Amino acid sequence: MPDADILPDDIDTLRAALVAERAARLSAEARATGAEAMIAHLKLLIANLQRDRFGPTSERSRRLLDQLELQLEEPEANAAEADVEPAAPGDPHPGSSRAKPVRGPLPAHLPRERVVVPGPTACPNCHGRLVKLGETITETLEVIPRQWKVIQTVREKFSCRACESITQPPAPFHPIARGRAGPELLAMILEAKFGQHLPLNRQSESYALEGIHLDVSTLGGWVGACTAALAPLLALIRKHVLAADRLHGDDTTVPVLAKSKTSIGRLWTYVRDDRPFGGPEPPAAMFFYSPDRGGEHPRRHLAQYAGILQADAYAGFNELYLPGRRPDAISEAACWAHGRRKFFVLADVAKAPIAIEAVRRIDLIFDVERTINGLIPEQRRAARQEQVVPLVAELEAWMRTERSRLSRHNEVSRAMDYMLKRWPAFTRFLDDGRICLTNNAAARALRGIALGRKSWMFAGSDRGGERAAEVYTLIITAKLNGVDPRAWLADVLRRIADQPDRDLGDLLPWNWSKPKTLAAAAA
């Protein structure tokens, strides 16, 4: 307590001192509150960054599943190793104390090779004559190692005894002019590089271990030549994609080798997938490369498109939605998975009650959508009008009410603003059964590229990025149609030069049927 002798005697001075003390206290409390808010904001930011780097989420369930499957390998291997009982003398098959799993039959389409274990020629007890009662068959899955061979194409020459002219059949088509690589080899290289993300230098090293020396420059030349040969099919796939009523669009980063450094380019994808609304047209995807993320790139990609684009809120798409655009304005359809993710992060990291409630309400909409996936547009629209419209209306009213109570600096309010400012795009699916609730089709098309970046490190150049986009278009489209990209590419490379232009459509993945020779070999 201060000494009473130093306090002033008059009331006015005491009142002024009290006011000054109160002002100082309020100022200190304000500074403390601001500091606490800043600390809370920084903690949340750090938690988000740590979560993005280390933490699994349901939004990245594929990565979590990969991790769980990897974790499963070790205990299974350890248990199998520990449970194997020592073999009894003369018993070639060691036992195991583990319960035997119920196994399904091995694939019926695989060829069977019978290996008969010689039986005794006489009864081991009395040496009498044996009569066969039956047999017990145990099937084991095996693989034949990769085999290399050289095909010699022989064209015999004939001379006419009458006119002495020389006749010789024409040379067969080769996928690469004056090249020495067959279509199966070329397809294997393409699929390994762009489908399995195995760089050419690693492929070259693998082939060398098998006694086949193919340097990287040779493999690179073959990849470029194949890309040029497949260009007609690429044009047909892009034409098919752009004929869709609705497209999914997205992009991802791709490091590109530059002088003394790497720059960041982009790979764009536009996916046509009419299966969610029961459309009869086959799915397909087209990819493009650009050295940056400027808005002029999607405008060029979709210059002749005038349907529905389902994408995120990237500003580069905005000019596509303008009313005066030619040939017509594209209709914007937002992705509810993007909107939900912003709330999910806050619910997972900060345990924000409002964010948790937002996720719960949005999940109710997703629950209804799962039940109508695959129905025709009219049925999807009717179900949405009956079941989803009330949920969306309640969500909007609730968000606007809660938003009015929150500071604009609050993270939850920013998540709400992301959706509320684009509400017409988020609700367009209610009146159009062709529109999906999410843009996951494009995200799935880019998933392999995101995983492959860790393997191939970077594209060699801008032209290399463009070439990758072209081959990704072929491989991802084949996968969307349930076609083995390697078998399809091999057959296309074998036939495309002799295929008339009017029949090129027969080589598209959704029209392609496995050749009889391949089917016979598989049988």
Cβ-based neighbour number of residue 301 at 10 Å: 21
Find the angle CA(431)-CA(432)-CA(437) to the nearest 5 degrees. 100
In this predicted structure, the answer to whether residue 55 has a pLDDT above a threshold of 70 is no
**Beta carbons of 247 and 451 less than 8 angstroms apart:** no
Cβ-based neighbour number of residue 484 at 10 Å: 16
Helical residues (DSSP H) of 2-106, grouped into ranges: 11-54, 61-83
Q: How far apart are CA 488 and CA 484, in angstroms?
A: 6
Bridge-based pairing of strands 308-310 and 158-159 is unpaired
Confidence category of residue 434, pLDDT binned at 50, 70, 90: very high
Q: Report the predicted TM-score, pTM, of the whole model to 2 decimal places.
A: 0.78
Taken as a whole, the chain contains a residue count of: 523
| Average pLDDT rounded to a whole number, residues 260-277 | 90
The candidate with the shortest Cα–Cα distance to 207, out of 226, 193, 228, 227, is 193
Locate 307 and state its tokens.
């349907």
Q: How far apart are CA 59 and CA 463, in angstroms?
A: 33
Please compute, for residue 343, the number of CA atoms within 13 A of its CA located in the half-sphere on the CB side. 21
Helical residues (DSSP H) of 91-249, grouped into ranges: 183-190, 200-209, 216-229, 231-242
More confident residue, 489 or 177: 489
Place of tokens 């087209």: 286
| Average pLDDT rounded to a whole number, residues 106-134 | 90
In this predicted structure, the answer to whether residue 72 has a pLDDT above a threshold of 70 is no
More confident residue, 90 or 365: 365
In this predicted structure, the answer to whether residue 473 has a pLDDT above a threshold of 70 is yes
The candidate with the shortest Cα–Cα distance to 313, out of 285, 348, 341, is 341
In this predicted structure, the answer to whether residue 439 has a pLDDT above a threshold of 70 is yes
Confidence category of residue 88, pLDDT binned at 50, 70, 90: low
In this predicted structure, the answer to whether residue 449 has a pLDDT above a threshold of 80 is yes
52-75 as b/e: b if 16+ CB within 10 A:
eeeeeeeeeeeeeeeeeeeeeeee
Residue 307 φ/ψ, nearest 5 degrees = -105, -135
| Average pLDDT rounded to a whole number, residues 440-467 | 82
